[in-house]
Amino acid sequence: MSKRLLFTLGTLLLLSTAATAQDYINPEDRVVDMDSPTFVPMVHIGKAKVGADSIQYVRTSKVYVFPPLEFKNKSQETAYYRLVYNIKKVLPIAKECNQIILETGAYLETIPTKKERSEHMKKVEKEIWNTYKPRMKKLTFTQGKLLIKLIDRECNSTSYELVQAFLGPVRAGFYQAFAWAFGSSLKKRYEPNGADRLVERIVLQVEAGQL
């Protein structure tokens, strides 16, 4: 369990609030339906003024068209669908992380002194640990590593940079050392045009409601 937790420690240190609605189900507890979209496609109907006329328009989510994938064998096909499953599982958590970072950052700007901000973040860190430790332990080893990359994609910062920004370089280095011990890195960058090209393709389709 501790190995899985360490891979998602960057997220643990950033998720400072949880949804309070009674019917809300955390992403890691949701059943991944491979036959239904994770995100509902957006459809917006409005009116635009053109001269003296009003013209109705419809705006929808982007639709992505990619060349069909060709699998060399059954094992490769199975690996692809496992990746789709894992992305559908952890992408909502990465998006949740990004939203909370924005909210936390905005709140910290209202705290007048560095000392008060530091004290506040210590309390936040403790609260995060108590709240999210059981949540993150539900992720697999592979899902934790993928989450670290998707946090970089959503926040445009690695987990290490986010931890460093909130808690300082010493603590960031401490958590990074533990991640390295188990074969990962909080400094792992997301490469949508390189090593993570297939991940990016799947993410775009999941976001658009196509997967």
Which of the two residues, 209 and 154, has the higher pLDDT score? 209
174-192 pLDDT, tens digit per residue, is: 455 445 544 566 667 789 9
* Beta carbons of 166 and 16 less than 8 angstroms apart: no
105-153 pLDDT, tens digit per residue, is: 777 778 888 888 778 777 776 776 777 677 777 888 888 888 878 878 8
In whole angstroms, give the CA distance from residue 126 to residue 132: 10
Name the token pair of 74.
């059954």
Give the confidence band of 206 by pLDDT, cuts at 50, 70, 90.
Answer: very high
Strands (E), the chain: 43-50, 53-60
* Beta carbons of 151 and 11 less than 8 angstroms apart: yes
Please compute the mean of the pLDDT values over residues 42-64 and round it to a whole number: 79
Q: Determine the angle formed by the axes of helices 74-108 and 114-136, rounding to 10 degrees.
A: 150
What are the sequence ranges of the domains in the chain?
A: 2-28+72-207
Please compute the mean of the pLDDT values over residues 167-180 and round it to a whole number: 51
Give the confidence band of 1 by pLDDT, cuts at 50, 70, 90.
Answer: very low
Question: What is the pTM assigned to this prediction?
Answer: 0.72
Q: How many helices (H) and strands (E) does the chain have?
A: 8, 2
Residue 6 has pLDDT above 60, yes or no: no
Which of the two residues, 52 and 186, has the higher pLDDT score? 52
